[in-house]
Structures are given as C-alpha cells and as structure tokens.
Structure 1
Amino acid sequence: MLGGGRGRAWRARLAAAGLLGGALLLPAAAQANIEVEVSGVSGAMKANAEAYLSIRDAANQKDLDQATVDRLQRQAGPELREALRPFGYYNPFIDARLEGTAPKWKAQYIIHPGPRTVWKRVDIQISGEGAADFEKELKRMHRRLQEGEGILHSDYDEAKAILSSAAYARGYLDAQYAEAELRVTPADNSAEAVLHFDTGPRYRFGEFSIEQTGERPLEDAFLRRYVKIHAGADYDPQKLLDTQFALSDLGYFQSVEMLPQREQAQDHQVPILIRTTPRKSQRYDFGIGYGTDTGVRGSVASDFRHLNDTGHSLHVETQVSHIKNTAAGEYRIPRGDKPGEMFTLNGVLGQQDYSAGLSRFYGFGAGLARTPGKWQRRYYLKYLHEDSTLGEDVTAADMLMPGLTLNRASLDDAIYARQGWSLFFDVHGAVKDAMSSVSFTQAHLIVKGAYPLWQRTRLLARYETGANLVDQFSRLPASQRFFAGGDQSVRGYDYQSIGPRDANGAVVGGNFLTTMSLELETRVYGNWGAATFYDAGGVENHVSPKLKQGIGVGLRYRAPIGSVQIDLAHPVEDNGVRLHIGVRVGL
C-alpha cells in the first residue's frame, strides 16, 4: 500500500497521462472524411454533378456524424437530378450507395442519364416596329433551337440573349420579351421553347452637350469634331463608345463619361451629356534605363497641354546615353476629326557616336499626320544639317528632305502581343542644290509578327530591309547610312558593327540593308519565360548583302512596360558569346 504523499503523486501522474492520451485521441477522432465518387457521366455533366453535391462540399468537415452523413446522402439524389437537367436529362436513374461508419465513409453515385429531352416545338415570334430588322438573328436562334434535337438550357439562354443584345445595339431601347418560357414535359422527354419578342420603337440620338470642368475649358466646337454621334441618327451604343475613346485618346481628359438622358427623351430622341474631367495642364516624365546597345540612358520629357482653347500642345524631351544625346521639341496643332491627326513643327539638336566616328546634327521641320482608314500616314518636310566622321569619310551635309511614313498595326495587346502584326514604311530623299548638298532617295521597311503556337508559347518574326539610291555615297552623312548588329538587329554582334568597312577596317555603313529574325518564346512560370532565337542580317553597297548569323537563348520577364529580355547570343561566323539586355514593347 502506497503512502499518502506517494499515492497522491502517482494519481496525479495517471490523471496527467489520461489527459494527454485524451488530447492525443481527440484530433484523430475529429479527422472525419467522406470519399465521393461519381461515375456514368463525363466532361461537363460530371463536373456539374459534382458541383451540385452537398455531400462533396462537406467531405472534409471535422464535426461529421452518422446522422449528418445520412441526411446528405438523402439529398444527393435530388441534387444530381437537378444537375443533369441543364443538359436535357430529366429522367435519370441514380444508383446511390453509402458505405462505412464514422469517421470514414465512401459515397458512390452511378448515374444512368436515361433518354435525352428533345425540342418538340420552337415558337419564336418578333413583333413591333423593328420586326423586319432581325432576320439574321432569327436564323441564328433557330440554328440553336432545332425541333427534334436534344435540348441544352445554355442554348436556350444564349438564343434568348441574341435578340436582347441585337435590339439594344440597334436602338430599340424598350425591347423586351412579352413571353419567354422553356416548357419541359418529363413524362415524354419533350420540351417547348416559347419566345415572343416585342421590339418597341427605335430610338434616335438627340442633341448632345459637352460638360467641362477646370479653369481652362477647350473650345466646344473643337471637341465636337471628335464626337461620333449626330442628332437624328439611329441610337447606337457603339457610337457612344467610339466617342468616349476618341475624346479620351486626345490626352486632355482624365476621364470621359457618356451619359444618355433617357428620362428626357422626346419623340424617342435621347439627349446625350458628355461629362469630362481635365488632366493637369503640364506633365513631366523622368526615365532611366539600361540597354546593351546604349549603356545607361536617361530622359527628361515635358508635355504642355491646353496652350490654348483649340488644343495646341508642346512636347519637349532630352535623352542622354552612351551613344546618343539629343534635345528635341514638337509643337502640335490638332487637325482632322481623329485623335493623332495633327500638324507639327519640330526641331532637334544632338550627336551620336559610331564605332568609326561621330556625328553632330541639328534640324527643324514640319509634318502632317493623318489616319485615313486603318493606315497612319505622316507627310513631312525636314531640314537637317549634319557633320559626321566615319573612318576616312568626313562629310558636312545639308539636306532638305520631303518624306512619307506609313504605320499600321493589328495586335491583341499593345504591350505584350501574342498574336498580330505591325508594319513601318518610310521613304524620303533630297535633291542637290535644292537646299541640299547631296542627292539621294531612301526607302526603309520593317515588318513584325507574332503567332501563338500553344497556350504559353508564341512565335515572333521580324523582317527589315532598306535601300539608298545615291550618286556619291561618300557625301551621305552617317544618319542616312545603314548599319546592322545589336539588340534589335543581329544579336551576337556589337551595335552597328555590321556593314562595309574602309581601308582601315572602320565600319562606315552601306546602301542596302537586310535583317531577319525568328524567335520561339515560352512562358515557364508566372511572368518568367525562356526563348531561343535565330537572327541574320547584312549591309552592303549592292542589293543582296551577305548575311551574318546569330543564334542564342534568352530569359524573359513580362513586366507592365513590356518584355524584359536578357539574351546570350553566339555569332555563327565568329567565336564567343555576347550578352544583350533590352526591353521589347509590343512586337
């Protein structure tokens, strides 16, 4: 027999052990689980069936008991029947089985969908002022809802939405379904679709007004040039969006709201209020970056908006880098009725380093940018004085150059394009003794494209060609000669290191340029990706230059500003590997 003190100690130890054992057993008892298995159907039907099952949602609850599981099992049959109805199966047979006891169960549901319900009758009627305007939509609805075919609730819903969307887009703002029913008779697996649609009257645009806030509003007549709606025209929501985008793209407004005044409509004409919030009249940008071609680079830019009430603006910018320093300004006068159409007066002062020498230049000019159709055109006249030294070629050139630039792009994303293309073309020239010291004509073409191969992979392609027609190449300054090599040309070669050389081996540029590139880029994890590429290019003084080739691999990071690229490139004709760092925006 234990003594009182020792007995109490042992009893305390036993009690502690019991508590510890209970504590260890409690989590194990709480780990209830239900294994749920659905068979007999697949794809979207199986996914929907699983989504409807309450027992599946509760499968890992810690406080499950037998009564709760039995209740969930009883709910499973009605839930599965409900899940199959959107696919047209109203009379399924469900073999439901529940095995096991607390805390482990296994629930099995073998589904036999049974016969599919088919459309017995499809009754679509359109009445009202616009009844004759929806023949195309009526055919689309009948293609979705065909008598004798199996029903899908989604087809019914989508067919129903066709008329509603089309009516709103065409200005039938009161359009509605007088009757819209999906009638199912499970006894004989048949269904009827009854869709009776009343278009109501067609609305038109009324007068519009532009509301501006701020101390320096723009002239109302100036802004009205960019408004795409006209009083009396059929009401078209797309025209409202077009106007909103156009006014936003002008760059004067922080926000643009299109507010149809439906409650003020008279004779079915809807007044439109356009409410704008101005941006700050001045903007300053500072930038710093690095590229293998340019080294460290920086920029300071300023935009002065609202110089007057007709939208004149001024843009000035200074750029500094290891190879090029410039200061430029452009005075912009809006023209036409599209954003970006303008008359410009500009000037530039700067210098650029080449591997074989240096160029200093200044110039001024005027341009007219227009956008007829999908092409952006810029007509310009530019005077440029340039003193350049490339090897043994020393030139002091004056050039008065008329020219034309064409741009067009079709991209699914302006920053990171997976699919699309872009084209740039420029032609300009000068005539000796017409305020010019040299006669020449230059044409330059760049075509780029992107094509998605798989969900995470895209193929990028680029082709560039250029040509000079000039009598005395030695009188042509550096800026008008062609070079190749570098981050945006033939990787594996130094910037502007490809081209004809003089007797001392200095690269002095040439008259004919050809470069091309193919790149396969794959996103690997998150915003990180990898690429492999092949580049080729050459510059000569004859039409078909010999092409130097570069191959390599690269690391990619998708950033808000574009695709950051770090490439290792090997020149096929030479030894070694060259590092290229840069940013690609768009293509």
Structure 2
Amino acid sequence: MFFRLWPMLLVLFTTSVAAIDFDYQGISGESKDNVKVYLEAQTFPDNSSARRIISASSEQTKRALRALGYYQSEITITETAEKKFLVDVELGERLRVNKFELDFVGAATKDSRYTGAIARSGLAEGQVFTHAAYDSLKSEFDRLASRYGYFDAVYHKAEVQISIVNNTADIYLSYDSGERYRFGDIVFTNPELPQTMFANLAEFNKQDRYDSQKVGEFNQRLGETDYFQVISVRPDIGNRHDGEIDLLVGLQLKPRDTFEVGGGITTDIGPRVRLKWTRPWVNENGHSITFEIEAAEPKQSAQFVYRIPIDNPVDDYVDIQTGYIREKTNDTESEKTILSTTRQWRLDNEWKPSLFLKWQHEEYRQADQYSVSDLVLPGANFARLRTRGGLDPYWGDNLQASLEVGHPYWGSDVEMLRLAGLGKWLRSYQNHRILLRADLGGILVDDITDVPASMRFFAGGDQSIRGYDYKTISPKNDDGQLIGGKYLTVGSVEYNYQFAEKWRWATFVDAGTATNDFSEPVSVGVGMGIRWLTLIGPLRLDVAKGLQNESDPWRIHFSLGPDL
C-alpha cells in the first residue's frame, strides 16, 4: 500500500509555488489596488499552465471589479513572458442604484448615529452602487446595535438584485432595531466581596441607556484597583427583561502577596532598581498594604503605604504613609523621614483633589550650610490627566498643582508657603506632534536658607532643561556652590515627526531658571533626538546643548516613559 502512495506523497510535499508577476493596463487607483489584492492572493503550482493561470486570474479580476460596482468590464489577460502576465481592463460604467427600499423601524429611527450611517453610506437612487458600501452599512448597523444596546435588532430582509442588462442595483433592506435597553443591576458572582464598593466604580447608573464603552471602562477601573488577577464584565443578554439588561461581574482575587522587581536607567540618576511588595487584600473592607524600595547612586528611598478605600479604592480613599529618602546630588546631601496621611477623591470634571497632613524631619547639607529641620505641613494637591490613544497617546494633557504651608503655630520650624505646578500638553496631526511643558514653583519665606534642601528649587536634566546636568541650575553662594532657589520657571517646546512605524525624530527648545530674585540669566537648551516606541512608552535619546555659555558641551539625555 505504501509503495502505491509514495509517488503522490512525493509530489504533494515537493511541489513548489510559482512566482507570477502581473502588469496592469486600463485601471488605476482603487480599482487597480483591489485587483492586485485578489490576484496576489492566488497560488499556483510551479508546473501550472498559462491557460490555467489566465482562467483563474480572469475570474478573480472580475470579482475584484464587481465588488466596486464594475459589472460591465472587459478583461483580457495575456502572457508576455514566462510567468509574467498583462491584465488589460476596460472598466465600463459602474452600477447605479435604481431602487433603495429601506424599511427602518424601532427606537433607532430617532438615533442620529443610525441616520448618520445611512447618509454616509452613499446608497441612494441614482448613485453608484458598490458591495463594499452595502456591506459596510449593514456592519455599521450591527456595530451600533451591539454598542448601544439594541439587542433585539433584526433584519427581516436584506437583499440586492443586480441587473447586468440595465447595469443597475435594487436594494431591499428591512431593519427593526427594537428598543434600546437600559442598564439594570450589577450582579457579582462573588457574594463574599464588598459589592457596593466595587459597583461605585461604574460611571453609569441603573436605568442609564446601555453603552458597551461604559462597560469596558468599568472593567478597566476594576483592574486599576490592583485587587484582581481575573476580571469579567459582560451583559447578561440571554436574561434581558423589561427593557433592562444586567451586568454579570466575575472577579478572582490576586494571591495574598505579590512581589515586583523592576528598574531602569536615565542620565539624571543612572541605573535604578525597584523592589515592591503588595498585599492587595488585607481585610473584607478592601484595605491594602504596599512597601516599595528604590535605589540609584544619587538617591535611595523606601516607603510604606496603608490604603483605606472610602467610596472606591481607585480614586476615593485615605492613605497613611511613612517613608525615608536619602539624596546626594551635586552640592546637596539630604536624609528625610516622612509620616503623612492623605485624603483623595475625584470630582465629576475629572479633577482629583487631595488634602494631606505631613510631618517631615530632614537632616541636610546644602553647599556650606548644615541644618536639621522639622516641619508639620498641611496642604493640598490637584491633578487631572486626560489622554487618548492608549500607551502611545496622540492627544492629552497633565495638570498638577500643590500647596504646602508651614507655621510655628502647628509645630514647624519655619513659616513658609510653597506652591508648585506642572502642565504638559500633547497634540498631534497625522505624523506631526507638538509637546508643550511648563514647570512653575515658588516659596514664600524670608530666607531660603530656612527651607530644607529637598523643598528648594533646582533646574536642569532630562525632565527639566536639557543641555544641562541634573539639578545644576540654581543660585550659588560666593564659592560657586549651588544653594537652591525660591522660584522655578521652566518651559519647553518639542516637535516630533514620525518617519516609521516605531520611530520618531524630535527637536526641542527648553528654557528657564531656578532663582531667588530673577537676577540670573535664563538658561536655554536646544537639541534633537530620536524616539523608539516601546510597550511601556517611548525610549528617548536626546543630544542637547546649553546656550548660556559658549563653552557648555553637548550633553546626552536618555529616558524612558510616557510623554504625559
């Protein structure tokens, strides 16, 4: 038996595929592109005859052109050389819509998304007919029904009758959208979890009109709690009732303890290592614990955070935090211990305000000054982050502001008010991107030497003024040592051009100063760089030069992370 089969098996596994080239005449643009797609998808054994190739390719060309409404085309394919063919086409007139009978009923008749889809389809009597436009309209109806809750939608008739003789198309479309469902109950399949707390993460209410995008956002916010390793949120379509549809939520908690090891490298601080331990679920109220250590040559830190959810664990909670930070940079040596409590919540306009009370003990040496500082600082933060485009956003802004107040009345060594703000804006058009950044700060205090080193302002570095080393811009003492400033003003304009799928070219201008009286000249840095788009944000390599002194060298800046 084997000996009778082996010749066929030998042919099957040794037959090579013919390499066939096509040239085109009489067609261009959309019609040529579509024909190329159809023809280049063909495969023929190497021993195929020209007659077989011409026959199959003629049929494929006909299909490609009919998809675009060309039913009157004349197609001639000839072999011009071995395995090389000329496709000569006379397109003829395109099909026209003779009749478009649309029977459209249901709640969607008042939905502008449906009526807009009909208008954009181009399907109207006297207009050119293409199967792509017809299929696209039906697909759009299906998409709208799925997203916006028309779960009873049905086609009673969907038919196109083509008259090749008359070169016309008659369209018969009967569509009943049914009613648009509203959100019902959120049903958790884990009754032991605090359901109200997690239901509060949904940005919709019962009886709101259904929108699958809101379901997806609810799923994402459940993921942001960091409690779960498996999350499933889906509409219970099979049990929809009385115009409502419930959501079924299945959750699986992470292990009791999770550990992370990470790191990175920048030209500001060099290599960095990070170790993190998290107990995401301490008790039935959703409390969590995080302990994190970061270490780089100029800076080391450790912090412990105990989080208590209030309304929800993502943006409505109380943090109790303690930490230690040690830094040795340029003329700064600082060791700081912090104990704080923070209350954060979220406003309807996407702003996240927080109030905090912080005790800070710092031993520091700044230039020729050595001191010990104890501060009790009540304060507030305001933040808003908006992005579009996922990990590589094409649009967005990040606004942050903070206020801290120290006074001997509540135990601070110094009377002071510190304000800081950061703004980043990103806008894109096709392959072009503009990034704007502003970093501002001010300290109201009699003498900057009363302020601990970690709270003074410095400029320069990857995230400040490129062309200058990390934190090297500030007022100096008589010996030329950096002492830090009361005020910070930094601005940046960067232009990016995407020249390949994962690559962008950049050019930029950064300018600003850290100062006590604005008597120092503004430091300006200019440069250019390259951006490689990775899964965790763009990797940036910049070459920049400070313009304050002609002797300033070109500097390399390397960083990784999101633009905003």
Which range, TM-score by smaller chain?
0.7 to 0.9
Which residue does the alignment assign to 1:146?
124
**Structure 1 stretch displaced more, 540-549 or 248-257:** 540-549
Matched, 1:196 2:174: yes
AA partner of residue 83 (structure 1) = A
Change in 2 beyond 3 A, CA 1:117/1:419? same
The equivalent position to 1:325 in structure 2, one of 289, 295, 300, is 300
For residues 240 and 31 of structure 1, the distance between their equivalents in structure 2, rounded to whole angstroms, comes to 48
The CA distance in 2 between the partners of 1:74 and 1:515, in whole Å, is: 70
SS of 1:507's partner is coil
Stretch moving more, 367-376 or 132-141: 132-141
Work out which of the residue numbers 142, 148, 162 in structure 2 matches 1:164. Answer: 142
The offset of 1:532, in angstroms, is: 4.1
Which of 33, 43, 61 does residue 29 from structure 2 map onto? 43
CA contact (8 A) 1:395 1:476 kept: no
Correspondence for 1:52 among 14, 38, 63? 38
1:260–1:411 CA distance, 2 compared to 1 (3 A): closer
2:436 to 461, 483, 501: 461
User: Are the equivalent residues in 2 in contact too, given 1:512–1:545 (CA < 8 A)?
Assistant: no
Q: Structure 1, residues 362-413: CA drift from partner, whole Å, max 9, x if none? A: 2212111112132222222222222333224444333222222222223345
Q: Which residue is 1:174 aligned to?
A: 152
| TM superposition shift of 1:279 | 0.8
How far apart, CA to CA, are the structure 2 residues paired with 1:502 and 1:346?
36
Contact in 1 for aligned 2:458/2:471 (Cα 8 Å): yes
1:579 offset after TM fit, Å?
Answer: 3.6
Match of 2:512 among 512, 517, 537: 537
Cα distance change of structure 1 residues 268 and 289 upon mapping to structure 2, 3 Å threshold: closer
Q: Tell me, yes or no, if structure 1 residue 81 matches structure 2 residue 62.
A: yes
For 2:465, the equivalent position in structure 1 comes to 490
Give the CA deviation at 1:178: 0.7
Amino acid at match of 1:62: D
1:335: which partner in 2?
310
Does the 8 Å contact 2:215/2:234 carry over to 1?
Answer: no
Cα distance between partner residues in 2 of 1:233 and 1:519: 42
Other-structure match for 2:537? 562
Determine if contact 1:325/1:352 at 8 Å carries over to the other structure. yes
1:336-362 CA-partner distances (Å, limit 9, x unpaired): 247232111112223322422422222
* Residues in 1 aligned to 2:507 and 2:498: alpha-carbon distance in whole angstroms: 12
CA contact 2:544–2:557 (8 Å) conserved in 1:
yes
The aligned residue for residue 514 of structure 1 is 489
Aligned-partner Cα distance in 1 for 2:545–2:108: 67
TM-score by length of 1: 0.84
Alpha-carbon deviation of 1:315?
Answer: 1.4
2:420 and 2:440 in contact (8 A); partners too: yes
Residue 133 of structure 1 is matched in structure 2 by 110
Q: 1:428 aligned to 2:409? A: no
Superposed displacement of residue 265, structure 1: 4.1
Q: Distance in 2 between the 1:390 and 1:143 partners?
A: 67
CA shift, 1:209, in A, is 2.6
Amino acid at match of 2:26: G
Measured at CA, do residues 200 and 31 of structure 1 come closer, stay the same or move farther in structure 2, by a change above 3 Å?
closer
Distance in 1 (alpha carbons) for counterparts of 2:231 and 2:145: 26
Equivalent position of 1:437 in the other structure: 413
Superposed CA offset, 1:159-208 (max 9, x none): 22333333333433121111112222222222222221112344444544
1:267-296 superposed Cα distances (whole Å, 9 cap, x missing partner): 454444311111112122233443332234
Mapped to 2, the partners of 1:256 and 1:97 lie a distance apart of 59
Query: Could you say if the C-alpha distance between residues 454 and 264 of structure 1 is closer, same or farther in structure 2, counting changes exceeding 3 Å?
Result: closer
Q: Distance in 2 between matches of 1:253 and 1:562?
A: 24
Alignment of 1:79-478 (within 5 A): 79-99=60-80, 104=82, 106-128=84-106, 130=107, 132-134=109-111, 136-144=113-121, 145-212=123-190, 217-227=192-202, 234-267=209-242, 269-337=244-312, 339-372=314-347, 373-413=349-389, 415-452=391-428, 455=431, 458-478=433-453
Distance change >3 Å, CA 268–CA 137, structure 1 → 2: closer
Listed one character per residue, the Cα deviations across residues 429-478 of structure 1 (whole Å, up to 9, x for unaligned) are 223433222222222222223444664x6444322222222223221111
Query: Equivalent of 2:476, from 496, 501, 516?
Result: 501
- d(CA) in 2 for partners of 1:459 and 1:159? 36
**DSSP 3-state at the match of 1:226:** coil
Paired residues of 1:160 and 1:195 also in contact (CA < 8 A) = no
- The alpha-carbon deviation at position 558 of structure 1 amounts to 3.7
Q: What is the CA deviation profile of residues 71-115 of structure 1, one whole-angstrom value per residue up to 9, with x for unaligned ones?
A: 332344443232212222211223443456xxx255323212112
Following superposition, the deviation at residue 257 of structure 1 comes to 1.1
- 1:246–1:470: structure 2 CA closer, same or farther, 3 Å change rule? same
After superposition, the Cα gap between the structure-2 partners of 1:189 and 1:499, relative to the gap in structure 1 and judged at 3 Å, is same
CA contact (8 A) 1:395 1:474 kept: no
Structure 2 distance, partners of 1:358, 1:377, is 32
Equivalent pair of 1:500/1:541 in contact (CA under 8 Å)? yes
Measure, in 2, the Cα distance between the counterparts of 1:476 and 1:374: 33
Structure 1's 251 and 116: CA in aligned 2 closer, same or farther, altered over 3 A? same
Relative to structure 1, the CA distance from residue 467 to residue 53 in structure 2 (aligned partners, 3 Å threshold; closer, same or farther) is: same
Q: Is the 8 A contact 1:338 1:371 kept in 2?
A: no
Could you tell me how far apart the structure 1 residues matched to 2:38 and 2:17 are?
A: 24
How far, CA to CA, are the matches of 2:102 and 2:30 in structure 1? 28
Partners of 1:507 and 1:126 in 2: how far apart? 75
Aligned residue type for 1:57: Q
* Distance (whole Å) between structure 2 residues aligned to residue 297 and residue 73 of structure 1: 64
Q: CA, structure 1 residues 220+107, in 2 after alignment: closer, same or farther (shift >3 Å)?
A: closer
Shift of 1:35: 4.4
Q: Partners in 1 of 2:563 and 2:212 — Cα distance?
A: 30
SS in 2 for 1:336: strand
- Kindly tell me the number of residue pairs found equivalent between the two proteins: 545
CA distance in 1, matches of 2:336, 2:86: 82
Question: Does the Cα contact within 8 Å between 1:414 and 1:586 map onto a contact in 2?
Answer: no
Separation of aligned partners in 1, 2:372 and 2:17: 87
Does the 8 Å contact 1:368/1:379 carry over to 2? yes
1:227 shift after superposition: 4.3
Question: 1:17 aligns to what?
Answer: none
Give the CA deviation at 1:425.
2.0
In the superposition, relative to structure 1, how do residues 458 and 238 fare at CA in structure 2: closer, same or farther (>3 Å)? closer
Amino acid in structure 1 at the alignment position of 2:558: I
Q: Which residue type is aligned with residue 162 of structure 1?
A: E
Identical positions, percent: 27
Amino acid in the other structure paired with 1:389: R
Larger Rg: 1
Match of 2:11 in 1: none
Where structure 2 has 5 or more consecutive residues not aligned to the other structure, the ranges are: 1-15
Give the Cα–Cα distance (whole angstroms) in 2 for the partners of residues 34 and 301 of structure 1.
58
Match of 1:577 among 554, 557, 562: 554
TM-score by length of 2: 0.87
What is the root-mean-square deviation in Å for CA atoms of aligned residues? 3.0
Q: Which residue of 2 aligns with 1:18?
A: none
What secondary structure is seen at the aligned counterpart in 2 of 1:241? helix
What residue ranges of structure 1 are gaps of 5+ in the alignment?
A: 1-29
Query: Structure 2: how far apart are the matches of 1:98 and 1:581?
Result: 57
Instruction: Tell me the residue number matched to 1:63.
Output: 47
